[in-house]
Structure 1
Amino acid sequence: MGWMERFFKLKEQGTDVRTELLAGLTTFLTMAYIIFVNPSILGDAGMPKDAVFVATCVAAAIGTLVMGLYANYPIALAPGMGLNAYFAYGVVKGMGYTWEAALGAVFISGCLFLAISLFRIREMIINGIPHSIRTAITAGIGLFLGIIALKNAGIVTASPATLVTLGDLHQTPALLAIAGFFIIVALDRLKVKGAILIGIVAVTIMSFLVAGNKFAGIVSAPPSIAPTLMKLDISAALSVGILNVVLVFFLVELFDATGTLMGVANRAGLLKTGKMDRLNKALLADSTAIVAGSMLGTSSTTAYIESAAGVQAGGRTGLTAITVAVLFLACLFIAPLAGAVPAYATAPALFYVSCLMLRELADVAWEDSTESVPAVVTALLMPFTYSIANGIAFGFISYAALKLLTGRGREVPVMVWIIAALFVFMYVYLGGH
């Protein structure tokens, strides 16, 4: 294990091989749903579901491997939720473009992303984020994780009258999720190693005993990726009508991934004076994954907020990410086993991480409303619009506007003005996403 120590600097980060492997397994279990959900959503756009399943696993593995080996961060990547819905229901079904043209748009946005990462423009953007917004991003991601977890557990459900309401707490999945949450919090408080993983496994076992969960076996042969491999249509994506689609993909990818990287790194204690040491390497991993994913046949690949669960389980280095990547590749053959973990089993883990991430709001300068209000706007808009990018966008716009209206416009970094103007353009001209 000596080479692992040297390569990943495990001792320096206060971790060991066992902790990293458990953290990787924890992250994987909280995000494994994507290998089943992504083919379902992109299938609605007319894409072959079996090929998308393979593309999802391989794109996630490639992006996460680059993140682990090149950037040495415990952050996993996979096709992003929200971006896949925009791809299927907005671009293909809504605007009438072919899925091949939409993949071309993802490819071009990934190339733009790669260019601004290589020229360190993206790093300048991130380093220009004001402290209050940076703090709020972590808290906002916590709130976002919270609403995802409560929805997956069946504790919160949709309501036509009040938008959201309390779910049916007589249902077994909701009760198991609540039990799992208390198990995880108690074990973590008692300093039990692998507390989050134990909670997930415990709820999964109980789901077979009392919730009617069915075991579908362990091994299955992977289907062919040929129907989607290199089927992207770049020339169609370069037509004038779809350029606004490329811009939306680009902006959402940029700020979704940026928010996730900052939030998870902050939770792991990997920020130094508010900055990520190997930020550009992490950004290159992200942009490489988008380009590779579009070639394989899936919508935009991005950093996953569920990585925070692995970080809470002790993951601090790229070894955690490599574990996730290996498990995604294994999923090509063990999809039935991965599918046996229900969403309500991982929901307690995400909800606990959500609770912990909200402590970041303590760092906001509450006495200055030009700092605190944009921070709160950032945090609240993430769960309420179901988008990290929207939260960051409204945070930037409100920060610039409030500083300007109170005669403190000179305090606003140039990068903030540029980003705020870009987002105003996106919402006014493109209508958001």
Structure 2
Amino acid sequence: MDKQQSQVDLANKLTLREALRHKDVVRNELIAGVTGFFAISYIIIVNPLILKDAGIPTDLSVFATIFSSVIGCLIMAFWANAPIILTPGMGVNAFFTYTIVVNMGLSWQEALGIAAVASFVYMLIAFTKVSTILSEAIPESLKSGITAGIGLFLVEIGLEKAGLIVAGKSSLIVLGDLTKPTPLLALFGLVLSLILYIRKVKGNFFIAIIATSLLAFFLGVKDSDTPSVDLARLGQYHKIAFQNDFSHLLSTPFILAAFSMTMILVFESMGLLQGLLPNQKKFKKTFEGSSVTTFLSSFLGTSPTVAAAESASGIESGGRTGIMALTAAVLFALSLIFVPLLAYVPSAAIAPVIVITGALMMAAIGNIKMADFSEWFPAFLIIVLIPFTNSISTGLAFGFVCYPIMKLALGKGKDLTWPVYLLGVLFLCDLVFSAML
């Protein structure tokens, strides 16, 4: 154990080229890469099904998900030399689909245009000193509130897809009909996923999805709107690639959506990377690499990429260098072979993973100083308003506006930095403009 720990500590200090010269380090990193990949591999199935609600064809979206993940992991390997897996983000894809397309009524092509603009701004921040200024200035409670709020939003979406909650007549939400096959199948998947996860079984979520899908197949449970997926459709990939619509670039909805997505990408990425990276000296390059991948993903036809929280499973297995990310990139590329199996994966098999992922993200609440109400309440607003309003940007706006107000009320206004005030004003404008719309 001591030898293994010493190898991990050594890897933390090595460049990618140096790490490749150490067989023991390479072996640890390969194991970490496989572990991390299987922990996040469900994204290949989940992301296309979420983007389906935005109108993006599932059988094409899966290619975009894989391609963006491969590119992101390669950038993490060779640019940042970091044990981070980049994939289309859970939560960001929900904002892309349910806020921009479903709620605002924009097309998925316009949403891709918004993602490109937001990602470009993200890159400008990442490659300048602004990233360092924001990273040091934004209160940790708000960063944690964003992560937890998006997590609660995912829980709500997952429960809806599972049929465990439905719109009620006397209340907003009621328990679904547990006599129907979909909720029962989802409960089976949830229990199995939880058991595999707490037992730390490698590839836990992926195994649970496959097992639940097999049970659904034998029971004859299948989503009526789940399309068949054929590798031959790869030739039609151009129908979603480079389809970004910038025709309404200067319209108010476009600008507001781009602003909100920029806030999500910048601050969620900051929070995730600061929480995941074993070596914080790699934060700058990792943040830069993440921004580039996010920009490219919009032209590949998918929602923005972020650092996968499931990278933690690989890091816990000893991942410290870009070899872990490189291994994941290879596995993502090989996963193209298994694309046709997506046709046999019902929503009931995906929903439990969405719920558990949301619950894991909600663990960020523990980083908030609950004893200090001026820290807790703004974060609380972010956490509850994101799912209650079905809008991530609305939750962010209330939290960032409330924070400086509460500090000023306590006479602690001088303790805040100018970026906090600036963001409060910008988010206040966001709320005003949204109300006008």
TM-score (norm 1): 0.78
> Take 1:9 and 1:351, find their aligned partners in 2: how far apart are those partners?
40
Does the residue aligned with 2:344 lie in a helix, a strand or coil?
Answer: coil
Q: How far 1:379 sits from its partner (Å)?
A: 1.8
Q: How far 1:409 sits from its partner (Å)?
A: 1.1
Does the residue aligned with 1:119 lie in a helix, a strand or coil?
Answer: coil
**Which consecutive residues of structure 2, in runs of 5 or more, have no partner in the other structure?**
1-10
Structure 2 match to 1:383:
387
> Take 1:9 and 1:107, find their aligned partners in 2: how far apart are those partners?
39
- Contact 1:137/1:378, CA 8 A, preserved across alignment: yes
Q: Does 1:283 align with 2:296?
A: no
> Take 2:213 and 2:21, find their aligned partners in 1: how far apart are those partners?
32
The structure-2 alpha-carbon separation of the partners of 1:426 and 1:293, relative to structure 1 and needing over 3 Å to count, comes to: same
Structure 2 match to 1:248:
256
Q: How far 1:23 sits from its partner (Å)?
A: 2.7
The structure-2 alpha-carbon separation of the partners of 1:148 and 1:20, relative to structure 1 and needing over 3 Å to count, comes to: farther
- Contact 2:142/2:379, CA 8 A, preserved across alignment: yes
Aligned residue runs from structure 1 range 34-433, under 5 A: 34-38=47-51, 41-43=54-56, 54-55=63-64, 57-71=66-80, 72-78=82-88, 80-85=93-98, 88=101, 104-159=113-168, 161-213=170-222, 220-221=231-232, 222-227=234-239, 229-230=241-242, 232=244, 236-237=247-248, 241-242=250-251, 244-265=252-273, 268=276, 270=277, 276-296=280-300, 298=301, 300-303=303-306, 307-309=308-310, 311-312=312-313, 322=326, 325-326=329-330, 329=333, 334-431=338-435
CA deviation string 1:11-54 (max 9, x = no partner): 899965234313313312145232354356245xxxx8876665
Moved more, 63-72 or 146-155: 63-72
- Contact 2:148/2:362, CA 8 A, preserved across alignment: yes
RMSD: 4.0
**Which consecutive residues of structure 1, in runs of 5 or more, have no partner in the other structure?**
none
Q: How far 1:414 sits from its partner (Å)?
A: 1.5
> Take 2:73 and 2:269, find their aligned partners in 1: how far apart are those partners?
13
Question: Percent of pairs identical after alignment?
Answer: 25
The one-letter code sitting in structure 1 at the alignment partner of 2:165 is V
Structure 1 match to 2:42:
29
CA deviation string 1:252-275 (max 9, x = no partner): 22232234334544664x377xxx
- Contact 1:220/1:334, CA 8 A, preserved across alignment: no
Does the residue aligned with 1:157 lie in a helix, a strand or coil?
Answer: strand
Q: Larger helix proportion, structure 1 or 2?
A: 2
- Contact 2:182/2:221, CA 8 A, preserved across alignment: no
CA deviation string 1:293-336 (max 9, x = no partner): 4444x3652327xx334535757565665566556555655432
The one-letter code sitting in structure 2 at the alignment partner of 1:127 is E
CA deviation string 1:130-172 (max 9, x = no partner): 1222333343343233223322322122335422221121222
CA deviation string 1:29-87 (max 9, x = no partner): 145232354356245xxxx8876665454344434442454342434332723224555
The one-letter code sitting in structure 1 at the alignment partner of 2:37 is G
Aligned residue runs from structure 1 range 1-12, under 5 A: 6=19
> Take 1:149 and 1:8, find their aligned partners in 2: how far apart are those partners?
44
> Take 2:131 and 2:271, find their aligned partners in 1: how far apart are those partners?
16
The structure-2 alpha-carbon separation of the partners of 1:155 and 1:69, relative to structure 1 and needing over 3 Å to count, comes to: farther
- Contact 2:59/2:230, CA 8 A, preserved across alignment: no
TM-score (norm 2): 0.77
The one-letter code sitting in structure 2 at the alignment partner of 1:76 is L
The structure-2 alpha-carbon separation of the partners of 1:75 and 1:159, relative to structure 1 and needing over 3 Å to count, comes to: farther
